[in-house]
Amino acid sequence: MFNTALTLSDLGFLLKGAGMTVAITVVAVLFGTLLGLVFGTIKAHVGWLVAAPLTFVLDVLRSVPLLIQLILANAFQAIAGMGWSPFIVACVVLSLYTSAYCTEVVRGGIEAVPAVTRRAARSLGMTWRQDMANVTLPMALRVALPGWIGLALGVMKDSALVLWLGIIELLRSSQILVTRLQEPLFILMVAGVIYFLLSYPIARLGDRLEKRWREND
């Protein structure tokens, strides 16, 4: 197992794949969070009947396997003649997927702010926008951030599925090396270690934030 044919340039190939994983994750989390902020704010402020169509769409995004969503979106863009590259398809699908989960995180955060606090802000003469920007969102952030970190890490791990569209991300690049070197265990373990190093420190940070902020409640 330690007599490996894996060269430094092969490791570089894996790291390039990891770069693709990170790139897709960053794009998806960025746009997913922006959408999630909008959807979550809407859902926290309107009644369930008004929000029902939005709730249904987001629920579908969470109840259909991501792999099926990717395949469907890829087939659809081909049918509609949009000519998107797999990278764009992956980013769009993962962004929507992220937004579905982020909506719940944002909504939970906003709803955790006591209604009396918001009413107090409004009765001090703040507009709705000032109340959101200066009172509600800062307080909601404390509740929502640990969940959001978990979500971002989940998206990073789920982004492995884009290999089905032919994007060479970390797991796919490890498969390519396995095909050539025929050392599945070792190469997969290297890929696993890279995933672990990407995910574990941030997960720890999230745990620490959650604990520290809970003490001050």
Partner 1 sequence: MFNYTFHWHQAFRALPDMLQGALVTLQVAVLSMVLGVAFAVLIAVARMSANRVARGMATVWVEVARNTPALFQIYMAHFGLGAFGIHLSPFTALLAGITFNNAGYLSETFRGALNAIPPTQTRAARSLGMGPVRAFWSVVMPQMFRISYPPMTNQMVWAILMTSLGITVGLASDLAGVTQGLNVKTFRTFEFFAMAAVLYYLIAKLVMLGARLIAWRLFRY
Of 15, 68, 124, 141, the one binding partner 1 by CB under 8 A = 68
The only residue of 66, 105, 113, 143 in contact with partner 1, by rule CB under 8 A: 66
Q: Is 127 helix (H, G, I), strand (E, B) or coil?
A: coil
Applying CB under 8 A, which of residues 72, 133, 141, 205 lies at the interface with partner 1?
Answer: 72
Scanning 43-51, 72-80, 100-108, 126-134 for contacts with partner 1 by CB under 8 A, the matching segment is 72-80
97 scored as a contact of partner 1 (CB under 8 A)? no
DSSP letter string, 37-99: HHHHHHHHHS-HHHHHHHHHHHHHHHHS-HHHHHHHHHHHHHHTT----HHHHHHHHHHHHHH
Q: Sketch the per residue contact string, 167 through 206, with partner 1: x for CB under 8 A, - otherwise.
A: ----x---x--x----xxxx-xx-xx--xx--xx--x---
Nearest-5° angle of CA 66, CA 11, CA 193?
55
SS (H, E, C) 109-122: HHHHCCHHHHHHHH
- Cβ at position 128, least distance to partner 1 in Å: 33
Among 47, 53, 81, 125, binds partner 1 (CB under 8 A): 81
CA distance 188 to 160: 13
Q: Which of 11, 13, 54, 69 binds partner 1 (CB under 8 A)?
A: 69
Residue from 6, 54, 71, 126 binding partner 1 (CB under 8 A): 71
**CA separation (Å) from 144 to 23, 31, 35, 56, 108?**
24, 17, 15, 22, 7
- The C-alpha atoms of residue 106 and residue 165 are separated, in whole angstroms, by 30
Contacts with partner 1 by CB under 8 A lie at 1, 60, 63-69, 71-72, 74-76, 79-81, 153, 157-161, 163-164, 171, 175, 178, 183-186, 188-189, 191-192, 195-196, 199-200, 203
